[in-house]
Structure 1
Amino acid sequence: GAIKEAVVLAREDVPGAKRLVAYFTVHGDEHRVEIESLRTQLQGQLPEYMVPAAYVQLEALPLTPNGKLNRKALPAPDLASVITREYEAPQGEVEVAIAGIWQDLLDLERIGRHDNFFELGGHSLLAVKMIERMRQAGLSADVRVLFGQPTLAALAAAVGTCTDVVVPVNRIPHGCSRITPAMLPLADLDQEAIDRIVSTVPGGVANVQDIYALAPLQEGILYHHLAAAQGDPYLQYVMFGFDNFTRLEDFAQALQAVVARHDILRTGVVWEGLAEPVQVVWRNAELGVEAVPLDPTAGDIAMQLHQRFDPRHYRLDVRQAPMMRIAYAQDPMNQRWVGILLFHHLVDDATSLAALAAEIEAYMLGQAQRLPISVPYRNYVAQARLGVSREAHEAFFRDMLGDLDEPTLPFGLQDVQGDGSGIEEVRQDVDADLSRRVRAQARQLGVSAASLYHLVWAQVLGKVSGKDDVVFGTVLVGRMQGGEGADRALGMFINTLPLRVNLGQTAVGAGVKATHARLTALLGHEHASLALAQRCSGVEAPTPLFSALLNYRHTGATTSTEALSAWEGIQILSGEERTNYPLTLNVDDQGEAFSFTVMTPAQMGAQRICGYVQQALQGLIRMLEQTPGAPLHDLPILPAAEREQLLVAFNATEAEYPLEQTVHGLFEEQAQRTSDALAVLHGDQRLSYGELNEQANRLAHYLRKQGVRPDSRVAICVERGLDMVVGLLAILKAGGGYVPLDPAYPADRIAYMLEDSAPAVVLAQSATVGLLAGALMPVIDLGSGRWQDESVSNPEIAELTSAHLAYVIYTSGSTGLPKGVMIEHRNTVNFLTWAHRSFDAQTLSKTLFSTSLNFDLAVYECFAPLTSGGSIEVVTNVLELQHGEHDITLINTVPSALKALLESGGLGEGVDTVNVAGEALKRSLVETLFEQTSVKRLCNLYGPSETTTYSSWVSMAREDGFAAHIGKPVANTQFYLLDEHKQPVPLGVPGEIYIGGAGVARGYLNRDDLTAERFLKDPFSCEPNARMYKTGDLGRYLPDGNIEYLGRNDDQVKIRGFRIELGEIEAKLAQHDAVKEAVVLAREDVPGDKRLVAYFTQSEAVDIEVLRSYLQGQLPAYMVPVAYVHLDELPLTPNGKLDRKALPAPDSSAFSLRLYEAPMGDTEMKLAALWAELLKVERVGRHDHFFELGGHSLLAVALIERMRKEGMEADVRVLFGQPTLALVAAAVGQVQRIEVPETKIPALTRQRRI
C-alpha cells in the first residue's frame, strides 16, 4: 500500500485525555494520504479501542544518533491530524439553528458542526421530533440525509432539498346535504359509492366530516381482520383497576374528550360493496361504556371480564366509530372496579398510544388548554398517497428484492394468516453492562442502536431457517415523512416493510454499516405497501416473502410527579398485543436500557428464541469490540445449554468395548466357549463353532503362505453357502481385509472393483471362476481343498492390531464408479459390542443371513450372532423363507423385502425381532407386521457404510407402535447436525448429518481427494485425531433427542423459490397404500419451467388425482408434484440403485393440466368476469388459479367485496385454501358470514352517564 513506515504512541497532551496517535511515512511516489481512509481501514481490522484518534504524516521518522527511533521527537498532533470529532463551531444561521435544536433534543451543552447525531445518542423517534422542530423553524430537509450523513454540517447543507406534499383541503362543508365526488380529493369514489358509505353512518350526511383512503398498513390490518376465523389479531386491550367509581368516570370522560379532539378516533372503515375500502370520519362519535354484571363467586372478576372480551374470540365492529370501548364490572372482593379498554390497531400505534395517554392525563389534571391543536390523520394519508410515486417504490423494492426467489421461513413457519392464538410471549431485560456496550458500539460506528438489533435478528433468523441471505419485516415509525405535526399526531402511522440482510462472507463491522444503510434507504419508502414490495420480489403469491418481524420501539419517557397524580387510584392490571406473524421480536429502547419480547407459537418456545437473541447480541458486541473483521457467519446464536444438549447430552453414548480386539478374535473366544454349538447352516449342511473355526484356520494359514499380511486385501467372489462364511473368517484370521464381489454383478463392474482394490489373492469357486478371467492376481478355488493339511490352530499374528483393515465394501459413487470404504477391526468390534448389548443372545440365537456381502447389513447378520453364540442360516435371499422349514428368531432386511415377505405369508412363527434399514419405513408396514405376525419388536436402523453398518437405531415394541424417526446414536457414536459453516443448527432446524465416534471408517481406498472431502476433523471431540463423516443426509433433532431423517442434501431442489427436499415428498407418497415405490424429480423439460414429477410403481390401481389430493392433504402446495408417471418398475443401475437418468419425461396423461375450460353456470361466469377485471387478464378458465394469475392478499379482499356486491357470499380464506375458479364458485353461499354484533351499549343512569 501507500504506507512505508508506521509508529503508534499513546499520548497525553491534555492531562487526563490519553489517546492513540499514529505517525507514518509514505512511499516516494505518494504525496498525501487521506487520514479518514486510514481510519476506515483500521476500523475494519481492529476493535474500536485500538484505532488511533489522530494520524500524523511525516517526511521521515526521527532517529537517535545510533539509528533507533526517537519517540520523544515525534510531534504532538495538530487539528488536521485529529478525526475524533474535534469541536468546530457551527457556521451560518442554518447550522446555528439546527445546533440549537440538537442541544435541546439531545440535552447537550454544545454541538459542533462535525458532530454525529447517532454518536450523540440520537435515534429514529428523536429524528421525527427534530424534523418537526426544523419544520417549525422554516427549515425543511429530507430525513434520509440525517441517516445517511448524520453530521450537523451535512444536514444543514441539505436544508431546502425537501418539498412537503401539499395536503388538499377537506371540501365537505358543515351542514351540506349531499357529499359529491368533487368534495373528496383523497378518495376515488362515484356518487353511488358515496351514498352507500353515508348510509352506514348514524346521523347520515350531517355526521360525516371526511372520507379518504386507507394508509398502507391499515389495508393489511383490515385484511387480517376480515380473514380471521374468530376473534381479531389486531384488537388490543388494557385492563385497569379503579379504586372507586369516580376514578372510572374521570378516565372515561377524559377518553371521550380525546376522542372528540381527534379525527382518527372518530373513524370507522367501510368496505362492503366498494372497490377499495375507505375510512369515514364522523363528526360525533360516542365512546361505548358498558357495565357488565359479574358474579364474584364465579372467580376473579378481572379474569372473568377478560374472558368475556378476549380478542381471541371477541370482535369489535370496525365499521363503527370510535374503534374503542370500555366495559367494566364491580370487584367487591378487591374493593375496586375493574375495566377493560378495547382499542383497534387500525387507529393507533405505539407513538399514538403514548400521546393518547398524555392527553387523557391532561384532561384528568384539568389542563386540556395546554394541548396543541390536533393534527388530522388525512395529512398522513395525503403524504402516503401523494408523496413518493408508486413507480419509485417499485424501482426501489425491485432493486432490493428482484433477484430473491426464496422466502425466509424460520423453523418452516409460513402461516402469516394467523389470528395470534396459540402465541407464547416472553420478555427479557438486557443487562446494564451489555446495554452500555451496545450504545457505545452504535456511537462508534455512527449508526442507530436499532441497526445492531436488526443484524442480531437477521443472524438468528439465518440460523433457524438455514440461510445466509434473509428477509424479515421491520416496523417503520411512518412519521419521518408524515408531514407537519407528525411527531404528535394520533393514528396508525407505522408500516411493515421487508428488510434484506446478507450474512454470507460479510465482516461483522461492515455488516452493521450495511444494515444501517439498508434501513436508511427504506425510510424513503416508509409509505409503500407490503403487497407492492412482495410483488417486486421473485417469491410468488400466496407464499409469504417472510414470516418473522422486528418491531423496534422507543419507550424511554419518564413520568413526572404531576403526571403520576393524574393516575392516582388507577392501576394498569394487564395488557396484550398480538401478531399475525408466527415469529416476532419487539425491542424496547428505554433510553439507556433495552428489553426485548419474543412472540412465537408455544411449540417453538419463546424462551428459547430469547436465548438465541441474547447470545447473538452478546456475540455481536464482543466481535465488534475484538474482531470486527471476522465474518458474520461466525456469530453464534446457541446458548451454552442448548449447544451442550445438542453436542454432548444427545451424544452421551459412551460404552466400554475391547479396544484391542479383532472381529475374528471375538469369534475365536466364542468358539472356545461353545465349540459344539451350531454356528452356521445352509440347506442340509451344518458346521459347529469348533468345525467352522478349524476350517477357517486351515485356509487362513494357507493364505498367509500366499503372502496375505495385515492390511492386505483379499477379494471373495463365491456363491452363498458355508464356503462363504469360512472364507470371510479365514481372510480375517490371516490378517487381511475381505473385499466382497457379488457374482450377480455385471462383469465390467467386477473387473473395475478387482482393478481398484488390487487384492493379494481372490477366493472363488468353480461356478464363479469364469467371472474373474481378467484377474492379474492368484485366484484360489475354495473347492480344491489344497489347505486340508494346514494347522487347525488359531493363527498368531503379533503385528495384527485392531487398527488394521477388516473389510472394504464398495458403495455407489457420484461419478458412476463405485468407491471402496475401508473399515477397520476396531470399527466393527465397537459395532458388534453394541449389537450384543442391544440384542440379547436369545434374539440372535437363530439369525437369518440373507443379505449380499456387498451390503454392510451382512456384517451384522454374519458376525453379531457368531460372536455371541448364536447360529446363522445362510440363504440366497430373504424371500426363501416362503419355502421349506426355517427356524429363525431374527431377520435383518430392507423394508421392501419385508413387505414382500408379509404379502407372501413367509414370516415364520418363531421370529422375535425384525431389523430394517436402507430405505424409508412406512407406518402401514409396521402396523401390518404387528397385525399379521407375532413379532415382538421391529428395529429401524440407519447408517452409511462409512460409519460401519448402523449408526443410529430405534426399537419399536408391539405396544409402542410406529416411530417416525431414525432414533438415537448407537454406542460410542456422535451425531452432529450442522449448517454449511459446520456449526450446530438449533434444535428442530434441518442440518446435514455428520457422524463421529468409533464407527468412522479409515476412508476411501485410492481416493485421498474424496476422503479429505468427506472425512473431516471432528471439532467437537476431545479425542486427539478424532474425525467425523459428512453423510450428505439431512436430519433434524426432535426435542427428546431422536433424529428425524429428511432425505439427501443433494436431493434439494428449488421450485417457486422454495428449497424442497425431494426425499420428503417421496416418503409421503410412498406412505399411500396403493403406492409401492416412489421417486420425485424436479424436471425442466421446457426451459425455464421447472416442475416436480412423481414416478411410482403401484401395489393396486390408483388414479393420479387420488395421489395428488392425498399429497395436498399432507404437504404444502409448492411440494405437490404436477405430474404423476406410473411405471411397472423403477429403472436401476447395475448395482441395484435407482437410475434417475432413465426416468422418462411425463406425457400428457401424467398431468391434470389447467387446460382452458370455459366457466360453467351463472356463478362461475360472474366470478370469471370479476377475476378478469381485477387481475387484468383477458379470459379466466374454471381451473385457473387466483395466485398464479397474479392475485395477492389485498386483491383477495377486493375480490370478496366485489363478490358480495354481486350477491355472492364467500370467505376470503376459501381463496387461500382452494384458489381455482371452480372451487371458489362451489364455495359461494356455503360460508357462514361472521356477523359482527351490533354495539348494544345500555345508557348509564343520568348521574352515572359518562
Structure 2
Amino acid sequence: MTRVAKDTNWVAMSVSMTELGVYLDWIKDLSSTAYDIPYLFALPSGTDLNKLTDSLNKVFRAHRNLLSHFRANADGTISRLVPNCDSSEIAVDISYDDGEPDLNRLVKPFSDSEGDLYRIHIIRSAAKSYLFIQMHHLVFDGASAMVFIRDLNRAYAGGSLEEESVTAGMFAEKESESRKSEAFFAAQRWYDDLLSGVDSSSEPYHDKECGERRAAYESISLDMDSNRLRDVARKLGIKTSTFFTCVFGYVLSRFSGSKEALFASICAGRFPEVANDIGLFVKTFPVLERFDGNERISDHIRKTDEQIACHRKNGLFSFADACSKYNLSIPAMFAYQGENESEVDFLGGKTALKYILPDNPRNDLLGEALSCNGEYVFRLSYRTDLYEKGTAESFTQCYRKIAHEFMSKLDGGFSDVDMASESQRRLLDAFLPKSEAQSGPNDIITLFRQQAQKHPDAVALIIGDVKRTYAEVDCLSDRIAGYLIGKGIGRGSTVSILIHRNEYMVIASLGALKSGAGYQPLDPSYPPERLLFMVQDAKASMVIADEDLTPLISGYKGQFLLTKDIPSLPPSDKSFSIPAICGDDVFTLLYTSGSTGVPKGVVLEHGNLANFCRHYQKEFGMGVGTVNAAYASYGFDANMMDMYPALTCGGTVCVVPEEIRLDFQAMGEYYEKNNVAVSFLTTQVGRQFATSPFRPSCLKHLMVGGEKLVPLAPPEGLDFRNIYGPTECTIFVTCKAVDKEYLRIPIGKSFAGAALYVVDECGRRVPPCVPGELWIAGRCVGRGYLNRPEQNEKSFAKNPFSKEAGYERVYRTGDVVRILPNGEIDFLGRNDGQVKVRGFRIELSEVEGVIREYPGIKDACVHAWDMGEAGKMIAAYVVSDDKVDAKAIRSFILERKPPYMVPASIAQLDSIPLNQNGKVNRRMLPKPSSASVSQGSDIAAKREDNVLEAELKRAISEITGSGDVPYDVPLEYAGLTSIGMIRLSAFLYNKFGISLGSKELKGKGLLELENEVLKAWMECGVQPLAADGARAKADVFEPYPLSAAQLGIYMECMKEPESTSYNIPVVLEFVKETDAEKLAQAVAAVI
C-alpha cells in the first residue's frame, strides 16, 4: 500500500462519467487485467536505482491522482479518494526483484476494489535492470504514459515537478456541474438525432462461444505512403485518424453482413487545463456509419469527420449515457493510436518502450491503427472464445486492402470497392472443385436399366411388407411407359403423379421417365387450388393418380391413369418405340414458393440427377444391396435422393410408410427389419432421431437438411451429415459430417462437383468470413423455372468466374453465407423474405398476403422464429378493430395454402411496430406464446394446477420455449410443432411409461392430454424405471390396470405429493442375536 501518515485525511471527490463506466465494468470481474496498462522499461546502463526510486516518488507526489482509491458508497454513488496531506508524507510502494523479468508473475489483477491502482517493480538482473509499471485505466491512459515518462526524466535529471493545478477529481466535479446545463441537453438532442431507431451494434458473426475469455492479436503492415495519406487528409480537410476509422467501419460492416456499422471509438485529445495531467481523460463515443453504394468515398469520410467533431463537442453526453438511453451494447471498438515510438528518451539514455498487450480483452473486437517508425500498422485484438484465428487474419487482410481501395478510389463510390486481395482470391480458387471428365450414361433410365439387367432378382423396392425386385419394377414401369407412349406422350411432355405414399412413388415415376416425358410429383396434402394450378401450369398431358385423390384436381380436364389399373395394363412387348433419353431431357418439375405468391416450377434434367447419383453413391459407399430409406414427401426434392442413387447402383429403396413417419420407435424397428444403411430426414426430425434410443444399429449414414441444424454433440456410431442445397441445384450441393459441437454447424464443402461462390451485392467474390450471397455453378444447376422468363433472368446468370464446360451458368440462391478459412460454408440465413420450415421453403410475404385477405384485417406481418430444439415456426401478427378468431384465420389460410404455411401462432396487436425508416421493427414483435393464440379460456383463473398438470405444463413449456400453456387450445396452435409432438411423446414415455404417438396428441389441449395420461394409467398402469433409468422390460415388470380404490388413492396422492398421509411406516424390534443378513434375504423374498 501507498505509505502516508496515519492521520492523513482522504478527500472524497467525484468521478467522471468515463471513470464511472470503467469502474462499473471492472468490478464485474476483479480477477481480470482487461483495464490494466503495464509497461516494461529496460533501464539504461549505469542507472542509479536509488535516484530512480526518489524520482518515482516525486512523480507520484506531483500526480496525486495515481494514488486514488475508488469506493462504492451506501447511496450507490462512486467516489474517488485522494490523500490530502503534504507531499513529503507520501511514499510510493516499490518492489525490488532479482533475476529476469517474468511477465506472467508481474502482470496480475488489482483485486482490491478500494486499494492502490498502481504497481511498480525495479528488477535487477545480471545483464541489465528493468522498471516495470502497471497502472489501472481508472488513473492512467495512453497520453498519461508520455506525461509519466517526461516527468520521470525531469525528476531524474534533478528538475522540480509542479503539482497538478486541475486534478482528475476537479475535472470530474466540473463535468458533474456542466451536466446540469443546457449544453448537456443540447448534446442529448444531437445524440437523439444520431442514434434513435438504430437496431443494433455491429459485430462479425461469432465462430464459437466457448472456452476461456482471452485476448489474441493479429497485426499487419498497411504498406501505405504516409506522406500521401497526409496530403489526402489535408485535401479533404479531415484528421488522419478519421481515414482509418472509416476503413474500420467499412470492414466491420461487411464482416457483420450489414450496410452500416456501429462501434466505439476514442478521443485521446485533452482539454488544455489537463494536458499535463495523469489520469483517465480519454473519451469514448459511438460511431455510426452507413454505407451507400453510390455515395462518394471522399464525401463519406468528410461526413464521418464531422460526426466525430460533433462527438467531441457534445462530450457531456457520455458513452454510458448513450448506451443506457438507446439500449446499445457495443462490442467492437476502434482506436487510432498515432505515433507509437519504439524507443524513447529515458533517464539520460534511450530505451525500448515495451507495452505489454493484455491477456484479458476489454472488447470482443478492438482494432488499432498506429504508426511505427513511419510505417502504418493495423493491430486487431479479438476474443478467442468468440473468434477463430482465421477470422482475425481475414479481417486484418481486408483492412489493408480496403485502406488501399479507399486511397485509390476517393472519387468513386462504395460500389467500386473490392474487398478480396490477390492472396485471398487464390485461396478461394483453391476451394473450387477440380475438373473431372464425365463418363458413362448421363440419364437415369439407362442407369436403371443397366441394374435391372445385371441384378433382376435384387430387391429394388420395399414398402411395409411389400417387396419388388428390379425385374418387377422394370416390367411394371415399362407397362406405364407403353401406355403413355400409346397416348402420344413423350419427350417434351409432362406427366403429373398424384398418389399416396405407396410403391408407385417409384414405379409411376420410372414409367413416366421411360416414355421420354418429365414427371411432376404432387403432394396430396396441398390445397386443391394449388394442386390444380401446378398441373395446369405444367400443361400435364396425363395425371397418374390414386382414384380417391382425383377430386383434389376436379378442375383438370385431361387424361387420367389410375394406379388401380396399372397391374392390368398389357405387358410390354416392346412394340412401342422407347425413346433414347439424353442428359439434357427434362427429368422432373418441382414447385417451390414464389415471391409473388405464385409457386414456381423448377425444371431439372436427367444430367443433373445422373451427376448427383454418381457422387452420392461414391460418398456413401453404395452398391448392390445397399438399402436407402425413402422418408421425404413425394413432392419434396429430397425424395429424388431417397430413390435414384439406390435404383442406379443395384440398391434398395425402402419407403417409410406414412403412419410411422413420426413414430421413432416404429421407424427404428422398420429400419432394423429392412437393414436400412442410408437415410435422409428433415432437419428437426433427423436431429431427434439421431439421438433417440430407437435409432437402429444398422443405420450407418444419416443426412439432415431443409433448415438450420440446431447444434448437438456428434451422435456416437453414426455418420451424421448436415446437407444443404436449393431445389434449383438438384437436391444438395454441400455436405458436412458433424464431428464436434459447433455454435452453428457448417453446411460443409462442395458436393457433386458444385462450384460455390460467395459474392457481394455487385457480384464480386468476398474474402473468407465475409457474409455474402451464395452463387452455385456446375452440373447440378437445373434448367430454370417453367414459364418464368423474368424470374430466370433474375436467378440464373452467365458465370463470370469460369468458362469451363458444365460451369457456364450460376444460380443465385438468395442465401447469405460465409466461406470459412478451411473452405466450408457457414449458413447464416436468407437475404429475402423466404425461410425454411420443416424443409419447405416458404415466402413469408405469401402467407402475409393471404392473411390480409381475411375480412377485418387492417394490417399484418409474418415472422419466422427459431424455437431452439423445437425448430423454426411461423408467427403471424394482425391488426383489426374487432377481436380476431385465430382458429378461423388458420382455417382460412388452410383453404388456400399447404399445412406447413399455416402460422403456429397468431397474435393481435394494436399496431405493427415500425422503425424510424418505416420498416417493420421485428425486434419489437412479441415472441410467440400460447397466450397469443388462447381462445379466451378462463379455466386457469378458476383453480390451481394439480401436480400432473403442472408437470405437463413444465415439459410443454421447455419444448415450445414459451412459459404459457393454454388449457383448451390444441397444443400445435400453442407452438408445439410436429417436432415438438415427438419430443412430448418421448417425455411421456420416459417420465410415465405411456406410449402416446404424435397422432394421438394432435388436436389436444392440456386438459385432453391429462385425460389421455389418466386413461392410459387406468388401462395398463405405469411401467417403472429400471436402475439405469430405462423402462423395465415386460418380462420383468408386467403392467396391470389399477383398481377403482387404487386409482382413487393415487389421485389423492397426486394432489399433495409431499404429504405422508397414505404412507404406512412400521418399526419392528428384534433380539440382538438376529442374523441381519438372513433378515434382509427374508424381506427381499417376501417383496
**Alpha-carbon distance in structure 2 between the residues aligned to 1:574 and 1:912:** 55
Residue pair 2:213, 2:384 contacting (<8 A) in 1 also: no
Secondary structure of 1:587's counterpart equals: strand
Looking at both structures, which has the greater relative contact order when contacts are Cα pairs under 8 Å and sequence separation is at least 6?
Answer: 1
Alignment of 1:72-83 (within 5 A): none
Q: Which amino acid aligns with 2:104?
A: Q
2:567 maps to 1:725: no
- Aligned twin of 2:972: 1130
Match among 64, 72, 78 for residue 277 of structure 1: 78
Deviations 1:269-304 (A, max 9, x none): 34333553333443336343444566x6xxxx311x
Report the alpha carbon displacement of residue 1093 of structure 1 after superposing the two structures with TM.
1.5
Alpha-carbon distance in 2 for matches of 1:794, 1:926: 53
Query: Is 1:214 equivalent to 2:15 in the alignment?
Result: yes
Q: Structure 2: how far apart are the matches of 1:315 and 1:833?
A: 64
| Superposition pairs of residues 413-428 of structure 1, within 5 angstroms | 422-428=214-220
Q: Which amino acid aligns with 1:467?
A: S
Answering whether residue 90 of structure 2 is matched by residue 286 of structure 1, we say yes
Matched, 1:326 2:168: no
8 Å CA contact retained: 1:398, 1:536:
no
Aligned position for 2:411: 628
Aligned to 2:384: 602
Aligned to 2:101: 302
2:250 counterpart residue number: 459
C-alpha distance in 1 between matches for 2:27 and 2:301: 39
* Residues 4, 90 of structure 2: 8 Å contact kept: no
Partner AA of 1:256 in structure 2: N
CA RMSD of aligned residues (A): 4.8
Query: Partner residue of 2:1068?
Result: none
Identify if the C-alpha distance between structure 1 residues 436 and 1019 changes in structure 2 by more than 3 Å, giving closer, same or farther: farther
Contact 2:681-2:704 at 8 Å conserved across structures: yes
Equivalent-residue separation in structure 1 for 2:175 and 2:718 (angstroms): 70
Alignment match of 2:600 (pick from 815, 819, 822): 819
Q: What's the secondary structure of 1:410's corresponding residue?
A: coil
Describe the superposition over 1:594-653 as per-residue Cα deviations: whole angstroms up to 9, x where unpaired. Answer: 2232211135256854653453444344444346232x25534444444554x4444436
Query: Do residues 352 (structure 1) and 144 (structure 2) align?
Result: yes
Q: Distance in 1 between matches of 2:646 and 2:692?
A: 27
Q: Secondary structure at the match of 1:343?
A: strand
- 909, 926, 929: which one pairs with 1:1085? 909
Q: Is the 8 A contact 1:408 1:470 kept in 2?
A: yes
Quote the residue 2:918 is aligned against.
none
User: Any conservation in 2 of the 1:377–1:491 contact (CA below 8 Å)?
Assistant: yes
Matched, 1:490 2:314: no
How far apart, in 2, do the equivalents of 1:597 and 1:883 lie? 58
Which residue is 1:230 aligned to?
Answer: 31
Select the structure of larger CA radius of gyration: 1
Matching residue of 1:85: none
Q: Is 1:397 the counterpart of 2:178 in the alignment?
A: no
* Distance in 1 (alpha carbons) for counterparts of 2:342 and 2:549: 91
Question: What residue is the counterpart of 1:941 in the other structure?
Answer: 723
Matches within 5 A, 1:921-936: 927=715
Q: Deviations over 1:288-324 (max 9, x none)?
A: 3444566x6xxxx311xx333323x44466655xx43
Deviation track 1:121-172 (CA, whole Å, cap 9, x = no partner) reads xxxxxxxxxxxxxxxxxxxxxxxxxxxxxxxxxxxxxxxxxxxxxxxxxxxx
- Which position in structure 2 is the counterpart of 1:135? none
Distance in 1 between residues matched to 2:676 and 2:687, nearest whole Å: 18
1:25-67 alpha-carbon deviations (Å, 9 max, x no partner): xxxxxxxxxxxxxxxxxxxxxxxxxxxxxxxxxxxxxxxxxxx
Q: Retained in 2: the 8 A contact 1:239–1:341?
A: yes
Match of 1:828 among 589, 601, 609: 609
User: Given the alignment, which residue of 153, 156, 162 partners 1:364?
Assistant: 156
Deviation (angstroms), 1:680: 3.6
- One-letter identity of the residue aligned with 2:282: I
Seen in structure 2, the aligned counterparts of structure 1 residues 962 and 399 have a Cα distance that, compared at 3 Å, is closer
Q: State the match for 1:408 in structure 2.
A: 202
Q: Where do residues 701-780 of structure 1 align in structure 2 (5 Å cutoff)?
A: 701-718=482-499, 721=502, 723-743=504-524, 745-764=526-545, 773-780=554-561
Amino acid aligned to 2:256: S
CA distance in 2, matches of 1:749, 1:378: 74
- Counterparts of 1:336 and 1:848 in 2: how far apart (Å)? 74
Structure 1-normalised TM-score?
0.62
User: Matches of 1:909 and 1:420 in 2, distance apart?
Assistant: 37
Q: CA deviation at 1:1007?
A: 2.9
Displacement of 1:1122: 7.0
Identity, in percent, stands at: 22
**8 Å Cα contact 2:949/2:1006 also seen in 1:** no
Deviations 1:1094-1128 (A, max 9, x none): 5699x9985666787899xxxxxxxx867566864
Q: Specify the alignment match of 1:997 in structure 2.
A: 778
CA distance in 1, matches of 2:173, 2:426: 55
CA contact (8 A) 1:700 1:795 kept: no
Question: Which runs of structure 2 are paired with 1:602-681 in the superposition (5 Å)?
Answer: 602=384, 604-605=387-388, 608-609=391-392, 611-626=394-409, 628-630=411-413, 632=414, 634-645=416-427, 647-652=428-433, 655-658=436-439, 661-680=442-461
Contact kept, 8 Å, 2:369 with 2:378, in 1: the verdict is yes
Match among 210, 229, 237 for residue 438 of structure 1:
229
Matches within 5 A, 1:176-255: 203=5, 212-242=13-43, 247-255=48-56
Q: 1:419 to 1:344 in 2, by over 3 A?
A: farther
Q: AA paired with 1:517?
A: E
SS at match of 1:554: strand
Give the direction of change, closer, same or farther, for the CA distance of 1:390–1:411 in structure 2 (3 Å limit): same
Aligned to 2:677: 890
Partner of 2:311: 522
- Whichever residue aligns with residue 928 of structure 2, its letter is V
In 2, are the aligned partners of 1:939 and 1:956 still within 8 Å (CA)? yes
Which is further off, 240-249 or 258-267? 240-249
SS for the counterpart of 2:381 is strand
Distance, in Å, in 2 between the alignment partners of 1:550 and 1:998 is 45
For residues 828-977 of structure 1, the aligned pairs below 5 Å read: 828-842=609-623, 845-849=626-630, 851-874=632-655, 876-877=657-658, 879=660, 886-890=673-677, 892-894=679-681, 910-918=698-706, 927=715, 937-955=719-737, 964-977=745-758
Moved more, 674-683 or 224-233: 674-683
Aligned AA for 1:308?
R
What is the rounded CA distance, in whole Å, between the counterparts of 1:1092 and 1:815 in structure 2? 27
Distance in 2 (CA, whole Å) between partners of 1:994 and 1:576 is: 41
**Larger CA deviation: 976-985 vs 806-815:** 976-985
Contact 1:738 1:807 in 2 (8 A): yes
| Change over 3 Å in CA distance of 1:361–1:672 after alignment to 2 | same
The 1:341/1:1083 distance shift into structure 2, 3 A limit, reads: farther
Change (3 A) 1:230 1:349: same
The answer to whether structure 1 residue 510 and structure 2 residue 299 are counterparts is yes
Identify the range of structure 1 (263-272 vs 974-983) with the bigger mean alpha-carbon deviation. 974-983
Q: Would the aligned equivalents of 2:443 and 2:610 in 1 still touch at CA under 8 Å?
A: yes
**Number of positions where the alignment pairs a residue of Structure 1 with one of Structure 2:** 885
Counterparts of 2:502 and 2:398 in 1: how far apart (Å)?
Answer: 60
Q: By how many angstroms is 1:1062 displaced?
A: 7.8
1:409 Cα deviation from its structure 2 partner? 3.1
Task: Report if the CA contact (8 A) 2:263-2:288 is conserved.
Answer: yes
Displacement of 1:805: 0.9
Deviation at 1:375, TM superposition (A): 5.6
TM-score, normalised to structure 2, is 0.71
**1:659 touches 1:802 (CA, 8 Å); kept in 2?**
no
Work out the CA distance in 2 between the residues paired with 1:962 and 1:445: 44
> What is the match of residue 338 of structure 2?
554
Q: Which amino acid aligns with 1:533?
A: A
Q: Is the 8 A contact 1:679 1:871 kept in 2?
A: yes
For residues 686 and 219 of structure 2, the distance between their equivalents in structure 1, rounded to whole angstroms, comes to 52
Partner deviation per Cα, 1:1057-1085 (whole Å, 9 max, x = no partner): xxx9987732345599xxxx999869563
* Amino acid across the alignment from 1:512: I
